[in-house]
Amino acid sequence: MTPTSTLDLHESRPVISGKGRPTVYCIDQFHPQAVEHARTLFNVVLPSDSEFKDWRINATAILMKSSWMRAEDIASCPNLIAIGKQGVGIDKIDAKACAERSIKVINTPGANARAVAELVLALAMSVAREIRSITQRQLDHPVNKETCSGLTLYKKKIGVLGMGNIGRTVAEIFRGAFDAEVIAYDPFLPCPADSWAHIPHERAATVEEVYTKCDILTIYVPLTTET
């Protein structure tokens, strides 16, 4: 994990167990290897553990993936000082409520980017070649191949909104696989942007420019009121 910010729980948290290690509550299900790693650092309490039932009262630190931590959830955790969130998106966590209590939020930028980008390739191929609808028809009766069409992706123009970790990786994959033309829009990255200067691309000045030029549109921006 590569957190954007770090918090030394050993220094800043009050609850120390018998083993002298901080306690973290995993409120979502994590990969067993992640739990194993966490156990080398913390006393880990899982939802299956009996002491988990009082996590809201007792937790000073939680690890989460897909749960929500709304303002009322934050309020129900009087001792919380840190939230570890797997993944980059923190829109399910009420930032204002955390800031008011100086609760640190630690995410993992880039950790899922490759996996997401490869799934994008799979889904784009699936849509372009109508794999789902053809498979569905095939379940009922043999499909005449003359009734199957679809789009090849070779040299198609891919419009990427948001050239962060995922957008950049998707652009690289589509360049490599299809010699695709990349039209990129990301107003927050410097121009030229060093992190993706190696990807041949056209930089769009507006979202509308991307819409009018691209064959495939793909979006990787944080969820904000603007987006």
For the record, the structure tokens of 25 come out as 């509550």
Q: Which residue is nearest to ligand NAD (CB)?
A: 164
Binding window for ligand NAD (CB under 6 A); candidates: 12-20, 54-62, 82-90, 173-181: 82-90
Q: Are 39 and 19 spatial neighbours (Cβ–Cβ below 8 Å)? A: no
Taking CB under 6 A as the rule, does residue 161 contact ligand NAD?
A: yes
Q: Are 166 and 190 spatial neighbours (Cβ–Cβ below 8 Å)? A: no
Smallest separation (angstroms) from ligand NAD to the CB of 163: 5
Contact residue for ligand NAD among 25, 174, 178, 220 (CB under 6 A): 220
Site string for ligand NAD, 95-134 (x = CB under 6 A): --------------x--xx--x------------------
Binding window for ligand NAD (CB under 6 A); candidates: 26-34, 92-100, 156-164, 176-184: 156-164
- From residue 47, alpha-carbon distances to 15, 28, 29, 110, 138 in Å are 19, 8, 8, 27, 42
Rounded to 10 degrees, what is the CA torsion of 113, 118, 120, 125?
170
Q: How far apart are CA 201 and CA 163, in angstroms?
A: 11
Contacts to ligand NAD by CB under 6 A? 87-89, 109, 112-113, 116, 161-167, 185-189, 220-222, 226-227
